Amino acid sequence: MTKTILDIQNLSISFDGFKALNNVSTKVEEGSIHFFIGPNGAGKTTLLDAICGFTKPTSGKIIYNEKYDVTKYKEYELVNIGIGRKFQVPSVFKSLTVYENMELAIKKNRNILASLFEKVTKQENQKIDEILTLIDLKEQRDMIASDLSHGQKQWLEIGMLLAQDLKLILLDEPVAGMGRRETTKTGELLKKISKHCTIIVVEHDMQFVRDYATKVTVLHEGAILDEGNVLDVQNNPKVISVYLGRGGENCA
Ligand SMILES: Nc1ncnc2c1ncn2[C@@H]1O[C@H](COP(=O)(O)OP(=O)(O)OP(=O)(O)O)[C@@H](O)[C@H]1O
Ligand SMILES: [Mg+2]
């Protein structure tokens, strides 16, 4: 039986009276690649902000792993219980090498003093190697991050999340700006990762959604318009009318 890793209950978020999210309820199943799609301004990023503790909701709950209400925790506390997030813009340390970025990420699990003064252990080094192989950056290990291609920077950032032993990762537009080949490579990477980690993805690229989604939730003006499998959702006349029919695939 599948387990619900995230149970979003009646979530609302207002900014000065403007309802960016209005009574959103949905469940994310463990091990799934759950996509949130919808037009610009639909509230997708706001939802990720709430799940990772960056924005506090006006009302509602988000129950993680059947016991924690994430709305009551701070961002760093949520990383410790397994929730991590990649932002819309890549945030790797550009002047450091690929390896040094991974080293910083893996040390995030430690307290501050330990992360400053202790070297990475043999085990941690091995883990970095495994992740670099998974994200196909082993050959770029000593390259300065700013010299990586756009796609490679995105993969490095995903690798940095993996170094933190997360159970739920949130990705905001991970394939934006990528060509088809890099997009497919990202999808295959997510498939591998989802074997031991649940993934929530916000994306506009409908081909990518079709190829890799376990479940899709469509947001429109802060509310859920439809959800289910990709085929059903993309044939829903309401979804076509507010999003797909307006060239949703090409929105950035
Ligand atoms: N901090 C904020 N203060 C005020 N309004 C905000 C804030 N953050 C988001 N909004 C508004 O909430 C709405 C939802 O924004 P959000 O960024 O969640 O949309 P999105 O679905 O991620 O869109 P996109 O596809 O363009 O990234 C928008 O109208 C936005 O202007
Ligand atoms: Mg957004």
**pLDDT by residue (tens digit) across 20-77?**
999 999 999 999 999 999 999 999 999 999 999 999 999 999 999 999 999 999 988 8
The CATH number of residue 219's host domain is: 3.40.50.300
Q: Which among 44, 86, 251 is the best mutation to test ligand 1's pocket, defined by most ligand atoms within 8 Å of the CB?
A: 44
Length of the chain: 252
Give the whole-angstrom CA distance, residue 227 versus residue 30.
Answer: 17
Element of type H or E holding 13:
strand 4-15
Q: Which residue has the higher pLDDT, 57 or 165?
A: 57
Sorted by sequence, the CB contacts under 8 Å of residue 121 that are 6+ apart come out as: none
Q: How far apart (Å, rounded) are the C-alpha atoms in residues 232 and 36?
A: 15
Percent of the chain whose predicted confidence (pLDDT) is above 70:
92
State how far the Cα of 151 lies from the Cα of 144, in Å rounded to an integer: 15
Domain that holds residue 53: 1-82+198-252
pLDDT at residue 248, rounded to an integer: 54
Inside any domain, residue 209: yes
Dump pLDDT digits (tens) for 226-235. 999 999 999 9
What is the gyration radius of the CA atoms in the chain, in angstroms?
18
Q: Is the CB of 154 under 6 A from ligand 1?
A: no
Rounded Cα distance, 87 and 140, in Å: 23
Give the other-Cβ count within 10 Å of 43's Cβ: 24
Asked if residue 97 belongs to a domain, the reply is: no
Residue 21 lies inside a defined structural domain of this protein: yes
157 in any annotated domain: no
Specify the higher pLDDT residue, 139 or 111.
Answer: 139
* Token digits of residue 179: 């060509």
Ligand 1 within 6 A of 220 CB? Answer: no
The rounded percent of the chain whose pLDDT value lies above 90 is: 81
Ligand 1 pocket check for 245: Cβ under 6 Å:
no
Across residues 136-150, what is the average pLDDT? 96
In a domain, 30, yes or no: yes
Q: Total domain count for the chain? A: 1
Paired tokens of 117? 């003064």
Does residue 184 lie in a domain region?
no
The predicted structure's pLDDT at residue 33: 98
Arithmetic mean of pLDDT, 142-162: 95
Q: pLDDT for 168-206, tens place per residue?
A: 999 999 999 999 999 999 999 999 999 989 999 999 999
Separation of CA 205 and ligand 1 centre (Å): 19
**Residue 214 domain-assigned (yes or no):** yes
Which of the four pLDDT bands, split at 50, 70 and 90, describes residue 118? confident
Give a yes or no: residue 132 inside a domain. no
Tally of CB atoms within 10 A around 168: 24
Quote the mean pLDDT of the chain.
91
Please give the distance, rounded to the nearest whole angstrom, from the Cα atom of residue 224 to the centre of ligand 2: 16
